[in-house]
Amino acid sequence: MKDGFLGFRTSFMLDFVVVALVLIVPILLYSLYMVKYQRRFTLHRNLQLLLGVILLVAVGLFEIDLQFVQKGWQNVVAKRTIPLTEEQFGFVRTVLRIHLVFAISTPLIWAMTIILALRRMPSPPQPCPHSELHKKLGWLSTIDIVLTSVTGLVFYYFAFVAKY
Ligand code: HEM
Query: pLDDT for 77-98, tens place per residue?
Result: 999 999 999 999 999 999 999 9
Does the residue 155 lie in any domain?
A: yes
Domains: count for the chain: 1
Q: Is residue 7 part of a domain?
A: no
Residue 118 lies inside a defined structural domain of this protein: yes
- Assign 33 a pLDDT band (cuts: 50, 70, 90): very high
Which domain range does residue 118 map to?
12-161
How far apart CA 140 and CA 109 sit, in angstroms, is 8
**Structural domain contains residue 83:** yes
- C-alpha distances in angstroms, 131 versus 50, 53, 105, 125, 149? 20, 23, 22, 10, 26
Span 26-45, mean pLDDT?
98
Using CA atoms, how far apart are residues 52 and 49, in angstroms rounded to an integer?
5
Burial class of residue 83, CB neighbours in 10 A (0-12, 13-18, 19+): exposed
Does residue 2 belong to any structural domain of this protein?
A: no
In this structure, is residue 104 part of a structural domain? Answer: yes
Task: For residue 135, report the distance from its CA to the centre of ligand 1, in Å.
Answer: 6
Ligand 1 atom 43, closest CA? 138
Residue 46 located in a structural domain = yes
Residue 5 lies in a domain: no
